[in-house]
Each structure stands twice: as C-alpha cells, then as structure tokens.
Amino acid sequence: MAKRRPTPLRTSEQDVAASKRAPQTPQTQSPAFRLAFADDDFLTSEDTRGIRFQLEYQKTEQRLHEHGINSTVVLFGGARIPEPGKPAWAAKNETQKKNLELASRYYDEARRFAQLAAMTSNSLDDKEFVVVTGGGPGVMEAGNRGAADLGAQSIGLNIVLPHEQAPNLFVTPELSFNFHYFATRKIHFLLRAKVVAIFPGGFGTLDEFFETLTLIQTGRMERIPLLLFGAEFWGKVINFEALAEAGTIAPSDPDLFTLVDTAQQGWDVVRAFYELPDLGPPPGWK
C-alpha cells in the first residue's frame, strides 16, 4: 500500500500496538475496549455491512490506482475447462469428460487473446488494456497465464467460496484480490473495462455476460467490444433469435456483442474499435 504521509499525530498502527500492551484487566479484555477498526467482531457484524462494502471497494481501488492501471481487458469463462492435455477434473460423467476436453481449445484461445492484450499493454507502460480475470482455474488461469507469458502484470479478482479456492499461480501477486461480496467484485470487473471477452462457461459466466450486456443495452455502460468466443457453443446455449421474435429484446440487441472463434479474430475487433496498431503475433506463435 502507499506510504503514509508524515504527520505529527499518532497513527492508527501505533495505537493498535499500544492497546495490545495495556494491562490485562476485566476492562481491557472486554470487547467494548477494542479499537473499533481493529475489532473483527464489530467489523463483521450485520450493522457494519455497509462499511464492509466500502472497504472491499476502497482496498482494490486504492491498489489499482497505486499501480497506475487505467483500463482493463476482462476475460470471463468456465473454471472447469482444462488446459489441453490435462484431465477434465470437473467432469461428472463420460459425456462431460469428452465435452470438457474438446472445450480445452478455448483455454488456448483465452491464453492467446491475453497475450495479444498484453502486447498492447506492454507498449503502453502496463497501464492500459491490463488483463483481469476472476483469478481461478480454467479460462481464468489461461488469461492470467497469457499475460505472464509476455511479462505483463495481470489482475485476479477472487471470491471466497464454500469449497477451497486459491488464486491461480499466474496472477500478479500484488494484484491478487479476494472478495466477500459478489457485487463489489463486479464493480471492479467493469469499472475500467475497455474489452469484455466471454468464453464458454456455466452459471457464473452467463451471469457476467448478461450483466455486462444489460448495462450496455440500457445505456448504463458505454459501448465497448463485447466478444463471445465459440459461436457453436453459444448458438446451442442461448437462442437470441427466439428472444427477438418474442419481442423481449430488440431485433438489433444481438449487435451489441460479436461472435468470434479465435483470439486473432477477437483482437482484430478490439484493434478496429480503438484504432490500435497491429503489433504482429506474440513471440512463439506458430
């Protein structure tokens, strides 16, 4: 975190340390005696929920500001999609195993797409088009990995889940965050987003896609490249034509996103939208 400015007043850290050295008496051992900002029971109480929202927003905002990150490229997609050649660890039956292994190509496309973003980010002092993911496995890992391939920093916005989850090892450690509130996490996904790329996934991915799409459709968010990777997958999962025929969306609403199948196709859309230079393929591309 940023260094504290010099002040003649005592700091909160000094008083936290001093309060721990207080004599052990019934009064000092009472929860009432704890400094409010150092009292976990108070900070996690129902009455301070609003404060926790603010803290989750502020901590991440402050750290991103300190790193000078102005804009991001967001990658959403399935945590269960394995790296090519690796077992489909989340498969519950043979059909799922087969399909998840076939979907592993999206791991590669997400990694390549992140590499293309990282090339542009590197050319802009790692301040613009910085890759951000949910910080977990699958497509998220591929995104952070693609940035790491080119030595670029990337962000991971993890969330505490009932089952074990740790940030993937490709997230920049100083930009590896953890959230309790989905709502605060979603703010940070889109607050700096210049691109949102959606790869095949489950409920979480659908939620993130439709939330972004709704914000753009309603004018609550500026129009940005919103990319759906995998035309065949999305054509099976969502019947946009049926929604338009039913009148529940406008006939032009599907134009708010672009279906693509490869990283290069996706980045070509981004380059055209922002008039970015063609930096060529990342090193090592065949």
pLDDT value of position 7 = 84
Residue 151, sorted as left (phi over 0), alpha (psi -120 to 50) or beta, turns out to be: left
Q: What is the pLDDT of residues 238-277, one digit of tens each?
A: 999 999 999 999 999 999 999 999 999 999 999 999 999 9
- Print the SS3 string covering 131-181: EEECCCCCHHHHHHHHHHHCCCCEEEEEECCCCCCCCCCCCCHHHEEEECC
| Confidence band of 286 (pLDDT split at 50, 70, 90) | low
* Confidence at residue 43, expressed as pLDDT on a 0 to 100 scale: 94
* pLDDT grade for 3, boundaries at 50, 70 and 90: confident
Tens digits of per-residue pLDDT, 147-206?
999 999 999 999 999 886 789 999 999 999 999 999 999 999 999 999 999 999 999 999
- Output the average pLDDT for the chain: 95
Q: 166 is written with which tokens?
A: 């740790």
Q: For 42-98, what is each residue's pLDDT tens digit?
A: 999 999 999 999 999 999 999 999 999 999 999 999 999 999 999 999 999 999 999
Joined tokens for residue 278: 């063609």
Question: 37: phi > 0 → left, psi -120 to 50 → alpha, else beta; which?
Answer: alpha
- 50-61 tens-digit pLDDT: 999 999 999 999
283 pLDDT tier (thresholds 50, 70, 90)? confident
DSSP state of 5: P
- Residues near 282 by beta carbon (within 8 Å), at least 6 away in sequence: 112, 115, 116, 118, 119, 149, 150
